[in-house]
């Protein structure tokens, strides 16, 4: 193995941070087009989802609820994290939805944010509250 390959492997192992290991989500920008259950300010904060029952059942219900939303696809899924993208109908704006499972606290932390622009007309907050309603109806969160 040459030194460049070895350096690349070491960089990949230690140079990246895992949000799941840190139990965090990316912070919201100052603009009002983002909500997060880990936000520290009232304008961006939205409560996390408190899991009741089996975590696996709640995770499956969450994936199904995301996929039931129009123009939403799950683009990445790992053990404790999930990333989805929702595309608006007319202008094709993409919003990012990130979910972090905190199995010890039995919570889904969630962040929904627009990639561009300043405002979102409340779309991201509505999206998360719609997910909350679907998961409550499924009986997997409080």
Question: Which domains are delineated in the chain?
Answer: 31-137 (3.30.310.80)
pLDDT of residue 46: 97
State the 10-residue block means of pLDDT for the chain, 142 residues long.
42 37 82 96 97 95 95 94 92 93 96 91 94 96 95
**Predicted TM-score (pTM) of this structure:** 0.81
Whether the Cβ atoms of residue 51 and residue 59 lie closer than 8 Å to each other: no
pLDDT of residue 108: 97
pLDDT of residue 18: 36
Whether the Cβ atoms of residue 33 and residue 96 lie closer than 8 Å to each other: no
Q: Which two tokens stand for residue 96?
A: 């990012």
pLDDT of residue 11: 36
Q: Which two tokens stand for residue 43?
A: 């304008």
Q: How many helices (H) and strands (E) does the chain have?
A: 4, 6
Q: What is the spatial distance between Cα 135 and Cα 51, in angstroms, rounded to a whole number? A: 9
pLDDT of residue 37: 97
């Amino acid at each position: 193995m040459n030194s460049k390959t070895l350096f690349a492997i070491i960089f990949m192992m230690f140079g990246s941070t895992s949000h799941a290991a840190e139990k965090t989500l990316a912070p919201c920008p100052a603009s009002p087009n983002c909500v997060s259950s880990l936000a520290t300010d009232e304008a961006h904060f939205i409560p996390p989802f408190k899991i009741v029952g089996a975590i696996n059942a709640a995770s499956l219900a969450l994936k199904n609820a995301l996929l039931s939303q129009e123009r939403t696809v799950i683009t990445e899924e790992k053990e404790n994290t999930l990333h989805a993208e929702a595309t608006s109908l007319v202008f094709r704006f993409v919003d990012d939805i990130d979910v972090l499972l905190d199995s010890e606290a039995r919570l889904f932390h969630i962040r929904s944010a627009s990639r561009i622009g300043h405002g979102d007309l409340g779309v991201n907050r509505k999206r998360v509250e719609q997910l909350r309603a679907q998961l409550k109806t499924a009986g997997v969160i409080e």
